[in-house]
Amino acid sequence: MRNLDEDNITRAVIGAHAKAASSRMREVMTSLVQHLHAFAREIALTEEEWFHGIQFLTEVGHITSDARQEFILLSDTLGLSMLVTALNNKKPHGCTESTVFGPFHIENSPHVELGGDVANGAQGEPCFVRGTIVNLAGHPIPHAELQVWQADAAGNYDVQYADRDVHRARATLVADADGAFHFKSIRAEAYPIPHDGPVGRMLKALGRHPWRPAHLHFMITAPGYERLITHVFREGDRYLDSDAVFGVRSSLIADWVQHPAGVAPDGTPSDVPFNTLSFRFVLNPAPAGESGRRQANSVGWKPRKELET
């Protein structure tokens, strides 16, 4: 393996993987090397550009910590996260579509009874959410578990604040025997993804903004069904067609109906305007022998400290 040139180096690198730990690893790395080399050839990558790329990835690594996963943000903003979600979550027509997981989910969010207040002091216009969880035949799926999480009116998740252990606008609930659920939260608002690091600079250099359209995250699990990781997006949001992470599906857009102050759906008087949202989730049966499969884009990333935005 000597005197390699631009014509034979790709074959030489691939040949060096002959003893890879597994055939899948060999397949993945062969394809990666082929595409990486083809990319460099296609754009006639200069040495300066190569070094600029190395510096960029170094910065992505340096800012990544327990509290911030810049590599996932890079994957999200390059559309890779949504591509992997799409490749791994093909469902029959009629099932609720999946979308990106995002970095703000946490395990063991507080359990809230049906009808309870998920907001727990998070700032925002009140929103009363209700819905059902059904199968493809439209029959209710009893007692599914729902995890919900969302940003507040300032565009921050609870874990982005200094008192990040106080959970607001996130909860775990269990639907009733008829597959129905309802809870009180706050109106979802658009927010920018963390953009004070290298990914933010990349977006700026590309003439892109960092905003995500207003949405409410759901993770729904029920025995015998695939785990659903998705959002419900707010109809009318200005960023629906330019989501920084390419996660919007038309089927996931719903009306947040605004109501003037008055009697709220839970029968209590509201002296401020409030919103109502209703959504029906259709779960896909799990393949035989598999239940509650974790969506491939949920990488187990858990921010631990305050995140800078």
Given ligand BEZ, Fe ion, none, residue 245, with its beta carbon under 5 to 8 Å by kind, binds ligand BEZ
**x/- contact string, 43-82, with Fe ion (CB under 5 A)?**
----------------------------------------
List of E strands, the chain: 126-134, 145-149, 170-174, 180-186, 191-192, 211-212, 215-221, 228-234, 253-254, 257-259, 262-263, 269-270, 274-282
Q: Residue 126 pairs with which residues in a beta bridge?
A: 186
Nearer to ligand BEZ, 211 or 274 (CB): 211
Nearer to ligand BEZ, 103 or 131 (CB): 103
**x/- contact string, 75-114, with Fe ion (CB under 5 A)?**
---------------------------x------------
Residue from the set 104, 211, 225, 246 that interacts with ligand BEZ by CB under 6 A: 104
SS3 239: coil
SS3 284: coil
Determine contact, residues 58/71, Cβ cutoff 8 Å. no
* 250 C-beta neighbours (distance < 10 Å), count: 8
Residue from the set 75, 102, 129, 226 that interacts with ligand BEZ by CB under 6 A: 102
Min separation Cβ 190 and Fe ion, Å: 10
- The CA-based dihedral angle spanning residues 90, 96, 235, 298, taken in that order and rounded to the nearest 10 degrees: -60
Told to check if 216 binds ligand BEZ by CB under 6 A, we report no
Nearer to ligand BEZ, 20 or 299 (CB): 299
**Which of positions 138-197 make contact with ligand BEZ (CB under 6 A)?**
193
Residue from the set 212, 230, 283, 307 that interacts with ligand BEZ by CB under 6 A: 212
Min separation Cβ 256 and ligand BEZ, Å: 17
In the bound state, the residue with its beta carbon closest to Fe ion is 102
How far is C-alpha 37 from the geometric centre of its chain's CA atoms? 31
Min separation Cβ 37 and Fe ion, Å: 36
Q: Residue 295 phi/psi, 5° resolution?
A: -60, 140
- d(CA 140, CA 303) in angstroms, rounded, equals 34
- The amino acid at 116: G
Nearer to ligand BEZ, 64 or 270 (CB): 64
Residue from the set 10, 60, 69, 76 that interacts with ligand BEZ by CB under 6 A: 76
**Which of positions 233-252 make contact with ligand BEZ (CB under 6 A)?**
245
- d(CA 234, CA 236) in angstroms, rounded, equals 6
Residue for token pair 């977006």: 203
Long-range contacts, 200-207 (Cβ 8 Å, 24+): 202/56, 202/74, 202/77, 203/77, 203/244
Nearer to ligand BEZ, 135 or 168 (CB): 168
Binding site for ligand BEZ (CB under 6 A): 73, 76, 100, 102-104, 193, 212, 245
Binding site for Fe ion (CB under 5 A): 102
